[in-house]
Structure 1
Amino acid sequence: MTHAEAPQSTRADRRRAADGKSGRPPRSRGRRVRRIILWTLVVLVLAAGGTGYWLYNNLNSNLHGVNLDEALGKNRPEKMATSGQNILVLGSDSRAGDNAALGTGKVAGARSDTALVMHIPEGRTRATAVSIPRDTLVTRPECTKSDGSTVPPAKRVMFNSVYSLAGPACVVKTVEQMSGVRMDHFMEIDFSGFKDLVDAIGGVTVTVDKPIHDKSSGLDLTAGTHKLDGTQSLAFVRTRHGVGDGSDLGRIGLQQQFMVALLSEIKQQDLLGSPAKTYKIANSLTSSLTTDSELASLKSLADFGRSMNGVDPGNMDTIMLPVAYDKIDPNRVVAAQPQADTLWKAIRTDTEIPESAKKSPATGG
C-alpha cells in the first residue's frame, strides 16, 4: 500500500492514540457530560452557599440584644418550676428616625406604647396575652441605665414613662416587681418596623363591629371586614379617640384583636413556597426587633419560634390587667385587687387563670 493509499486518521483515532500513550482509559461522551454536570453543580452549590451565608449574616446583624441578667442582677423572681414561658412584648414609639413620620403630635424621647406579658403554659399549645395599660400608675424600682447611671425608685409613675426614662431593662424589672413573675424573654418592636412587617406579609384582615373615625390617628373604617396595610395597621393599634371613652383602655381590645390577626396571617403564609417573600418578612422583622441576649441571634430566634409552633393564635386568650380608676387622678388607673394578684399568681404557678381575675372594674367604655 502506497502512502497515498493510507487511510486518513480520524479524530477518534488520534484521541485513542493519545489516551494509549498516557495509559489512561478512553473517556466516553457520557463521562464528559457527567463531568460537566458535576462542576456545574459545584459552582451552583458554592454560589448558593455564599448567598445563604450572606443572607444569614445580614439578618443576624439586624438583631439587637439586651443582657437582662447583667442589667437586672440576681434579685429577680424565681423561674417557673414547669417548662412554661413568660415573654414581655413591647411596642415602642420613639418618634425619631423612621418613626417620626408615623407619629402624631410632638412627643420627646421614646415611649413604650404597647406592653403585654405573653404567658405560654407548659406544653406550649396555647397562650395568654395580658395587656398592661400604659396609663397604669406603678412603683418604679431603682434601675441602671445603659450608660451606667442610676435612676432612683419612684411611686405613682405612669407605666409607659419607665421606658422613656430608663430603657427596656427597667420596664422588665418594673413588671417583675409588680407581678412577681419572672420574664424569661423580652421582645421589642418599633413602629416603623411594625409597618414594614405588615406590608411584607401583604396586609392583615380585621373585622370591626362599629365604624371607627379618629382624626388623630387617621383611622377611618366602616363597620365590617377590612384588609389593612402597614400605615392603616399602625393607626388601628394606636387609635384611642375613635373607640370607647377615648382612653388607653378602649384601644387595648383593638391591639389584642390585631395581634391575633397578625400572628394568624404569618402562620398562614407559604414561606417555603416564596423564599423572596420569606426573606422580606424576616428582614422587616429582624431590622426592628430588640430581644434579650439569649434570643439575639437568628438561630436562637428560629429555634424559639419552632418551639411555639403548637400555639394556635386563634385560641389565644387575650385579657387586660384588671385595673380601676385612680381615686386621686381619674385620668389614671391602678391595678385592681384582688383580681390582679390572682392573675399574677396563676401565671407564676402556671395554672389556669380564674375568670374572676380577668374582669376589670375600669373598661374604658
Structure 2
Amino acid sequence: MNKRAYNFNAGPAALPLTVLERAQAEFVDFRESGMSIMEMSHRGAIYESVHNEAQERLLSLLGNPKGYKVLFVQGGASTQFAMIPMNLISEGQVGSYVMTGSWADKAFKEAKLVGGAHVAASSEDKKFVAIPELSSIKAADNAAYLHVTSNETIEGTQFAEFPDAGSIPLIADMSSDILCRPIDVNQFGMIYAGAQKNLGPSGVTVVIAKEELLAESPSNIPTIMRYSTHYKNNSLYNTPPSFSVYMVNEVLKWIEEQGGLAGIQSKNLEKAGLLYDHIDGSDGFYSGVAEKSSRSIMNVTFRMQSEELEKRFVKAAELEGFVGLKGHRSVGGLRASIYNAVPYESVKALSDFMNHFRQTQG
C-alpha cells in the first residue's frame, strides 16, 4: 500500500505496521511448518511455544512480578464483568466499584446480577468527565474486591494514580490503556484487558492475576467460567484464539523494541500533548470534554461549537483519510483514540488538519 489510513478507531484499533508486515510474511508458512499458525493444533509444540512465550513476555514487560499468572481467555472484557463476581464474591460479600463512566457501569451491572455490587465512589454528578478523588473511594466493609476502570474510552478519562485497596484485591479493567505506561502490578490483585486496543486483534482477553485468586473457584459455576479451569490448564482447556495470541506476542515484541513501557509512555505523552495543546489553544473553537486532571492519554475527547460543525468536521476529515473521529453514539462529540500503535505522524497530521479546519471554518 502506498498510503495507510490515519486510524483513530476506538477498537478494534490500529496495529503496528511492522507487526502486520511480520505476520504477513509468516502467514502461510509459520516457522517452516508448512502451515499457518491458525491451522495447527493448539496442543502441538509450535503453538504452545508461542503461547508460553507471550505469557512470559507480558510479565517481563510488567517487571516480572512474583506470584502472578497470565491467562488467555475469550469473550472480551464483557465476559470478565461476569466472571469476576462469579469467581470472587462469596456469600455475604459484595464487589465495590468506582463509577467512572460507561464501562464501569457495565461491570457494576453484571456484578449486581451475579452477586452484589456497591458503589465505592462515583463521578456521575460531573457527568463522568473526571475521575473521583482517590480519598473519596471507600470500599464496603464486606467487599470481596475493589474494581476500577483505568481508562474510560467514551468519556476520555483515565486514572493518573490508583487507590489503595488495603487488604482486599484491587481489580482493574485496563482494556483501553494496558501497557501505555509503566505501572506497579503489585498494587493489583487482577488486571484484565480485551486485546483489541493496545495488545493485538480482537478475539483474546488477557487476565493477569495473583495466583491465589485463580487457583480455586466455586464448583457451582460453569466449568468454562471458572478461573481455576484456565489456570490449571495453562489457558488451553478449550481451543484458544491462536492467531490472536500469536499477534499479541508480536505486539509485545514491538513494545520491547520501542524501549519497553517507559519508551511507550514517552511517545504517548508526546502524542496526547500535541492534541490537547491544540485543543486548549484554539480560543474555544475546540473544547476538551474531560477535566484536565483526568484526561486520558489514549482517548482524546472534544467538542465543537455545534453538532452541525462537528458533522462537517468528520466529513471533511474522512475525505482526507482520517478514520474513527466521531464520538461514541451515546455521548456524541469527537474522539481521537491514540493507542500505542498510532504513530506520531498520524497525530501530527490530525493536528494540522484541525488547524486548517479552524482557519477555514472558524
Asked whether the two chains share a fold, i.e. TM above 0.5, the reply is: no
- More strand by percentage: 1
TM-score, with structure 1 as normaliser: 0.22
TM-score, with structure 2 as normaliser: 0.22
